[in-house]
């Protein structure tokens, strides 16, 4: 299946820029997810690829084919772009049966009756809805309707699949189940897919790579692991997962390659020395520009809880603290550990001893697991 390439793609609505010039590409057979808060420009980007929204500038290619180019006056109509689409409101036609709903794109393309019957049967099989063809569309559950919408998007064997929050109308359990189904099906068919969601769990589990957007700009593109483990900007760090973000009030020494500063605790201040790759200020990090204060970022599951006075190992930083809160969540405990009167860290602990509130502990953190956002 072909790649999708967006170059300098831009959308303005009057004086407002919904999508700043953006470059991204989805590779052959890749599930690429656009993720970001409400209003960041995900749907607008997808609609431009779909040919439902005219860009203000830039270029869209599908494989070797340019389907939009502002400078060359190329704008291939939506129906000729070879795209299957499922949108948030997936609009199953209630007055038709399942088979009639699915057959619709084929009828539009003047496919023969015999071929339609065969293709509809095959695609219903693919989405796990074999035998449902004659059912009225209104007699389906939400998840079944979702699959019919998917079948309808796939029936004419598009090269590209565009999905805009296709699972958002489903309840939590069904949504999770459909995530895996969708992923397996996309992989089985080998489709190149652009998926839009504002749900980070969905994005992390479904995608080959993620594009994190903020206010019409791309903050980071990477695999789920890269985005989660090495957020490039403060915005990405705060948006994905639960993290500790501590403002560093004191002096930061940048004279070495990395950064060094003191973290005040109930006991003596602890000197933290970070390697260069743990210090980041990314261009276009909108959040960093508005919040001038440097922040230290640490994931709760990267912090180990030890008995106080345990000797430090492998270069880990030890911070003395006192447990001020604890919550049990089935497979792990979450602790709140106060380092001083104004500063606490969330710690996620899946194994090891259970600590009581008020216990004195040492928090061990590897400097490579800390990131300083300037
Ligand atoms: N037709 C339009 N006219 C004017 N502004 C628009 C139009 N369509 C979208 N916008 C604005 O562009 C911005 C991006 O909208 P978009 O629908 O792409 O966001 P989104 O990332 O899909 O958000 P959500 O998660 O809420 O669906 C928003 O500020 C929105 O108000
Ligand atoms: Mg949207």
The model's pLDDT over 81-92, given as tens digits with 9 standing for 90+, comes to 989 999 877 678
Residue 26: which CATH number?
3.40.50.300
Beta strands 370-373 and 295-298 are antiparallel
The Å distance, Cα 47 to ligand 2 centre, comes to 10
The ligand 1 atom at the shortest distance from the C-alpha of residue 165 is 27
Residue minimizing CA distance to atom 4 of ligand 1 = 13
158 in the same domain as 279: no
104 in a domain, yes or no?
Answer: yes
218 lies in the same domain as 145: yes
The whole-number average pLDDT for the span 311-332 is 91
More confident residue, 166 or 119: 119
Residues 134 and 267 in one domain: no
DSSP secondary structure letters along 349-362 = ESSS----TT-EEE
The CA radius of gyration of the chain, in Å to the nearest whole number, is 25
Q: Is residue 72 part of a domain?
A: yes
> How many folded domains does the chain comprise?
2
d(C-alpha 353, C-alpha 287), whole Å: 38
Ligand 1 and 234: CB distance under 6 A: no
The answer on 261 and 201 residing in a single domain is no
Residue finishing a domain among 214, 234, 254: 234
For residues 53 and 46, the answer to whether their CB atoms sit within 8 Å is no
- Please tell me the predicted confidence (pLDDT) of residue 291: 55
The separation between CA 76 and the C-alpha centre of its own chain, rounded to angstroms, equals: 29
- pLDDT category, 254, cuts 50, 70, 90? confident
> Which pLDDT belongs to residue 290?
54
69 and 218 assigned to the same domain: yes
The Cβ of residue 56 has, within 10 Å, a number of other Cβ atoms equal to: 16
Torsion of CA 256, 232, 214, 16, to 10 degrees: 50
Element (H, E) at 102: helix 98-108
pLDDT at position 214 over 90 = yes
Is a pLDDT exceeding 70 seen at residue 253? yes
Residue 314: which region, alpha, beta or left (left: phi > 0; alpha: psi -120 to 50)? left
Cα 208 to Cα 41, 205, 299: the distances in Å are 20, 9, 22
CB 344 within 8 A of CB 374: no
Q: Output the average pLDDT for the chain.
A: 91
The answer to whether residue 358 is domain-embedded is yes
Write the DSSP string, 182-247. Answer: HHHHHHHHT-EEEEEES-HHHHHHH-SEEEEEETTEEEEEE-HHHHHHS-SSHHHHHHSS--EEEE
Residue 123's φ and ψ, nearest 5 degrees, are -75, -30
Are 22 and 161 in the same domain? yes
The rounded distance, in Å, linking the Cα atoms of 296 and 147 is 44
Average pLDDT in the 134-162 region? 89
Average pLDDT of the residues in 33-38: 96
The response to whether residue 48 sits with its C-beta less than 6 Å from ligand 1 reads no
- CATH number of the domain residue 281 falls in: 2.40.50.140
Answer whether residue 363 is part of any domain.
yes
Q: Who has greater pLDDT, 298 or 257?
A: 298
Judgement on whether residues 224 and 251 belong to the same structural domain of the protein: no
Per-residue pLDDT, 283: 47
Contacts of 274 (CB under 8 A, 6+ apart): 258, 259, 260, 367, 370, 371, 372
In this prediction, residue 358 has a pLDDT band, given cuts at 50, 70 and 90, of very high
Which range, of 20-24, 107-111, 128-132, 309-313, averages the lowest pLDDT? Answer: 309-313
What percent of the chain is predicted at pLDDT more than 70?
97
Q: Does the pLDDT of residue 234 top 50, yes or no?
A: yes
Distance 172 CA to ligand 1 centre (A): 25
* Closest ligand 1 atom number to CA of residue 19: 14
pTM, rounded to two decimals:
0.86
Residue nearest to atom 17 of ligand 1 (CA): 43
The answer to whether residue 239 sits within a structural domain is no
- Choose the final residue of a domain: 234, 259, 292: 234
Cα-to-centroid distance, 200 and ligand 2 (Å):
14
Name residues with Cβ closer than 5 Å to ligand 2, which is an ion: 43
- Claim to verify: residue 215 and residue 332 sit in the same structural domain: no
Domain interval for residue 10: 4-234
Q: Token match 């502990």: residue? A: 361
Query: Of the candidates 176, 210, 234, which is a domain's last residue?
Result: 234
Q: How far is the CA of 154 from the centre of ligand 2 (A)?
A: 22
């Amino acid at each position: 299946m072909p790649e999708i390439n967006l170059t300098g793609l831009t959308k303005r609505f009057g004086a407002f820029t919904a999508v700043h010039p953006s470059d991204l590409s989805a590779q052959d057979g890749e599930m690429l997810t656009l993720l970001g808060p409400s209003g960041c420009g995900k749907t607008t980007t997808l609609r431009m690829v779909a040919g439902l929204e005219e860009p203000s500038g830039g270029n869209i290619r599908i494989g070797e084919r340019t389907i939009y180019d502002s400078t060359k006056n190329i704008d291939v109509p939506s129906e000729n772009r070879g795209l299957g689409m499922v949108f948030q409101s997936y609009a199953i036609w209630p007055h038709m049966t399942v088979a009639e709903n699915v057959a619709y794109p084929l009828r539009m393309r003047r496919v023969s009756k015999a071929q339609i019957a065969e293709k509809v049967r095959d695609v219903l099989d693919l989405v796990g809805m074999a035998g449902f063809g004659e059912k009225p569309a209104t007699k389906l559950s939400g998840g079944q309707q979702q699959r019919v919408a998917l079948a309808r998007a796939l029936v004419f064997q598009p090269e590209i699949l565009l999905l805009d929050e296709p699972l958002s109308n489903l309840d939590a359990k069904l949504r999770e189940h459909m995530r895996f189904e969708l992923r397996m099906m996309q992989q089985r068919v080998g489709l190149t897919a652009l998926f839009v969601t504002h749900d980070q769990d969905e994005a992390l589990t479904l995608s080959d790579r993620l594009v994190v957007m903020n206010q019409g700009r791309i903050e980071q593109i990477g695999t789920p692991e890269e985005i989660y483990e090495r957020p490039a900007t403060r915005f990405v760090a705060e948006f994905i997962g639960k993290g500790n973000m501590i403002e560093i009030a004191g002096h930061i020494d940048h004279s070495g390659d990395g950064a060094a500063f003191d973290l005040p605790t109930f006991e003596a201040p602890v000197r933290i020395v970070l390697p260069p790759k743990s210090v980041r200020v990314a261009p276009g990090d909108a959040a960093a520009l508005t919040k001038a204060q440097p922040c230290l970022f640490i994931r709760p599951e990267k912090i180990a809880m030890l008995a106080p006075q345990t000797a430090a190992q492998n270069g880990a930083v030890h911070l003395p603290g006192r447990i001020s809160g604890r919550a049990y969540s089935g497979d792990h405990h979450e602790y709140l550990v106060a380092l001083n009167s104004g500063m606490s860290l969330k710690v996620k602990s899946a194994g090891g001893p259970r600590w009581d509130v008020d216990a004195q502990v040492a928090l061990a953190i590897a400097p490579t697991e800390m990131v300083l956002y300037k």
